Structure 1
């Protein structure tokens, strides 16, 4: 069953077309409508790879030593542990599919939580959670690991995510935004 979530702050939309639970963990597929200027910081995923397939517009993918601009019909796969970021540097929305292998319920839940927190006005203007503990829990849940200078925050983020798990903040967020 398809589900669309909307971030009311960033105006981005995500439609889940295949969830990990529906595919025995093999795949997560989502369609994304990303507004101009949108996209996450440089990061990597240890547990899965991401394939980006542009449906309309232009998507820019930045790697450590290269920048790739994808147009409609083009695709690129980011391997596990490969530092990357993606973004919309154009002045028009971009629509693309993301295929995650293997599928990731944690990634799916993290998106629902982030968009739900935005809907509840519990984020900063850039869409990141206002609570540092919630940010750490969501980052851990989604397997998003920062790179470069931001990676120096990793020990603190790991500690905060452990505290968040101990306080059951992860369960509270999932129960509130993912049911």
Structure 2
């Protein structure tokens, strides 16, 4: 498999429920071993609580801070900190600050990135702003999540 080398703005970039994900390595480039992407999370951004049935998920905060809830525990993860969440563990992250946060997210094995490609909205490489998520995007995420082994922990579900 050839090496994957990307510049600071390169990589497939999509908006996913209000956040911006720029993919640095996908399963097709790593033999399915892992996927890695940069996440730009605006104030108030982040996914709803959910559980992965397959993947380890790692978070490395590059800038800003993220409130990471794992089970019933909430942690404030700031620049330079790392957290890993094992499959089967309820978790969520949210930017509760008034500034954007930037982090690296990894999943192993790969595959979850395909869900984001399916439900997200394509953006130009290097994009740093995105409109709020449209209701149909949230509906697409709810419909696609179970196919990727993700259970969304939404009120009433």
**TM-score, shorter chain, exceeding 0.5:** yes
**1:140 maps to which of 146, 150, 154:** 146
Instruction: Give me the CA root mean square deviation.
Output: 2.8
Consecutive unaligned residues of structure 1, counting only runs of 5 or more, are 119-124, 153-179
Q: Distance in 1 between matches of 2:56 and 2:86?
A: 5
How many aligned residue pairs are there? 143
Structure showing greater radius of gyration is: 1
From the two aligned structures, give the one with the greater helix fraction: 1
**Which position in structure 1 is the counterpart of 2:83?**
76
| TM-score, with length taken from structure 2 | 0.78
**Which position in structure 2 is the counterpart of 1:167?**
none
**Which position in structure 1 is the counterpart of 2:127?**
none
**Which position in structure 2 is the counterpart of 1:3?**
11
Show structure 1 runs of 4+ deviating over 6 A.
Answer: none
- Inter-CA distance 76–45: structure 2 relative to 1 (3 Å threshold): same
**How far apart are residue 149 of structure 1 and its match?**
4.4
From the two aligned structures, give the one with the greater strand fraction: 2
| TM-score, with length taken from structure 1 | 0.69
Q: Distance in 2 between matches of 1:135 and 1:19?
A: 19
Query: Which of 1 and 2 has higher RCO (CA within 8 Å, sep 6+)?
Result: 2
Consecutive unaligned residues of structure 2, counting only runs of 5 or more, are 5-9, 124-131
